[in-house]
Amino acid sequence: MALNTADWIWIVGFFVLWLAIGLCTSRNAGSNSEEFFLSGRNMPWWLLGISMVATTFSTDTPNLVTDIVRKNGVSGNWVWWAFLLTGMLTVFVYARLWRRSEVLTDLEFYEIRYGGKAAAFLRGFRAVYLGLFFNVMIMATVTLAAIKIGGVLLNLSPLQTILIASAVTATYSMLGGLRGVILADFIQFSVAMLGAFAAAWYALDHPAVGGLQGLLNNPVLSGKLGFLPDFNDWSTLVPVLLIPLAVQWWSVWYPGAEPGGGGYIAQRMLAAKDEKNAMGAALLFNAAHYGLRPWPWILVALCSILVFPDLEALQAAFPHVDKSVLGDDLAYPAMLTFLPHGLLGMVVASLIAAFMSTISTHLNWGSSYLVNDVYRRFFKPDATGAHLVKVGRFSTLILMLLAGLLALALSNALQAFQILLQIGAGTGLLFILRWFWRRINAASEIAAMVISFLVAVYFQWVHTAIGLEPLEGWQQLLIGVAVTTAGWVAVTFMTPPTDEAVLKMFEDRIRADKASIPRGILGMLLGCAAIYGLLFSTGFWIYGRTGPALVLSAVTVIAALALSRV
Residue-number span of the structural domain to which 55 is assigned: 5-512
Closest CA to 190 of 29, 354, 31: 354
Cross-strand partners of 425: 252
Contact 151, 337 (CB under 8 A): no
What's the structural domain count of the chain?
A: 1
The single-letter DSSP state of residue 461 is I
Task: Give the separation between CA 291 and CA 540, rounded to whole angstroms.
Answer: 13
Residue 526: inside a domain? no
Closest CA to 132 of 412, 403, 447: 403
Residue 267: inside a domain? yes
Q: What is the mean pLDDT of residues 86-114?
A: 92
Q: What is the mean pLDDT of residues 54-77?
A: 86
Question: What is the pLDDT at residue 224?
Answer: 92
Q: What is the mean pLDDT of residues 91-103?
A: 92
Residue 79: inside a domain? yes
Give pTM, 2 decimals.
0.86
The single-letter DSSP state of residue 470 is P
Residue 11: inside a domain? yes
CATH number at 244 reads 1.20.1730.10
Task: Give the separation between CA 556 and CA 560, rounded to whole angstroms.
Answer: 6
Question: Comparing 245 with 157, which gets the higher pLDDT?
Answer: 245
Residue-averaged pLDDT of the chain: 86
pLDDT band with cut points at 50, 70 and 90 for residue 325? low
Q: How many CA atoms lie within 13 A of 357 on its CB side?
A: 32
Residue 557: inside a domain? no
Residue 549: inside a domain? no
Is pLDDT at 30 greater than 60 in this prediction? no
Is pLDDT at 206 greater than 80 in this prediction? yes
- The CA-to-CA distance between both ends of the chain, in Å, stands at 53
pLDDT band with cut points at 50, 70 and 90 for residue 385? confident
Question: What is the pLDDT at residue 533?
Answer: 97
Q: At 272, is the secondary structure helix, strand, or coil?
A: strand
Residue 383: inside a domain? yes
Residue 548: inside a domain? no
Question: What is the pLDDT at residue 29?
Answer: 59
Q: What is the mean pLDDT of residues 349-364?
A: 80
Question: What is the pLDDT at residue 415?
Answer: 55
Distance set, CA 410 to CA 77, 213, 337, 358, 403 (Å): 22, 37, 24, 18, 11
Tell me the chain's radius of gyration from C-alpha atoms.
23
Q: At 302, is the secondary structure helix, strand, or coil?
A: helix
Element at 549 (helix H, strand E):
helix 546-565
Is pLDDT at 112 greater than 60 in this prediction? yes
Question: What is the pLDDT at residue 267?
Answer: 85
The single-letter DSSP state of residue 74 is G
Is pLDDT at 422 greater than 70 in this prediction? no
Question: What is the pLDDT at residue 184?
Answer: 79
Which stretch, 34-38, 418-422, 551-555, has highest mean pLDDT?
A: 551-555
Other residues' Cβ atoms within 10 Å of the Cβ of residue 233: 11
